[in-house]
Chain A
Amino acid sequence: MSIHFADKALGGFQRSLELRAKRVELLSQNIANADTPNFKARDLDFKAAMASAQTQFVKTTHTGHIASAPAGAGDAVIFTTPLNPSADGNTVEIGVEQAKFGQAAADYQATLRFLESRVSGIRKALKGE
Chain B
Amino acid sequence: MAIDSLFNIASSALNAQLTRMNTTASNLANASTTASSEATAYKAKRVNFESIVQEAQLDGQDFKGGVKIGEIVTDRTPVPSMFDPGHPNADANGYVYGTNVNEVAEMVDMMAAARSYQNNVEVVNTAKQLMLRTLEITKA
Interface of chain B, main secondary structure: helix
Name the distance in Å between B134's Cβ and chain A's nearest Cβ: 6
The contact string, 1 if C-beta is below 8 Å from chain B, for chain A 25-56, is: 11011011111110100000000000000000
Residues from chain B with Cβ under 8 Å of A32 in the complex = 9-10, 12-13, 16, 51, 65-67, 120, 123
**Among B27-35, B74-82, B97-105, B125-133, the stretch in contact with A:** B125-133
Contact assessment for B49 and A109 in the assembled complex, using a CB-CB cutoff below 8 Å: no
**Identity of the chain A residue whose Cβ is nearest the Cβ of B49 in the assembled complex:** A36
**Cβ B112 vs Cβ A18 within 8 A:** no
The reply on A117 being an interface residue by CB < 8 A is yes
Is A21 positioned at the interface, with any CB of B under 8 Å from its CB?
yes
> Does B49 contact A119, Cβ atoms closer than 8 Å?
no
A116: B residues at CB distance < 8 A: 136-137, 140
Question: What is the size, in residues, of chain A's interface with B at 8 Å between Cβ atoms?
Answer: 30
Is B5 engaged at the interface, CB distance under 8 Å to the other chain?
A: yes
A105–B126 CB distance below 8 A: yes
Question: Whole-angstrom distance from the CB of A94 to the nearest CB of chain B?
Answer: 7
C-beta contact mask, A64-98 vs B, less than 8 Å → 1, else 0? 00000000000000000000000000000010001
Establish whether residues B67 and A33, one from each chain, have CB atoms under 8 Å apart when the complex forms: yes
Asked whether A22 and B2 contact (CB < 8 A) given A28-B127, A31-B13, A35-B49, the answer is yes
The interface residues of chain A, by DSSP majority, are classed as helix
Known: A18-B2, A21-B3, A36-B50. A29 touches B9 (CB 8 A): yes
**Of B9, B48, B140, which contacts A119 at CB under 8 A?**
B140
Choose one: B3, B5, B48, B123; the contact of A101 (CB below 8 Å): B123
A109 to chain B, nearest CB (A): 6
Mark out the residues of chain A between 84 and 129 whose CB falls within 8 Å of any chain B CB in the assembled complex: 94, 98, 101-102, 105, 108-109, 112, 115-117, 119-120, 123
Q: Are B123 and A35 in contact (CB under 8 A)?
A: no
3 closest residue pairs by CB, A with B = A32-B13, A21-B2, A29-B65
30 pairs, CB–CB < 8 Å, chain A vs chain B: A24-B126, A24-B127, A25-B2, A28-B10, A28-B127, A29-B9, A29-B51, A29-B65, A31-B10, A32-B13, A32-B51, A32-B120, A33-B13, A33-B65, A33-B66, A34-B116, A36-B49, A36-B50, A36-B51, A39-B51, A94-B116, A101-B123, A102-B126, A105-B130, A112-B133, A115-B137, A116-B136, A117-B140, A119-B140, A123-B140
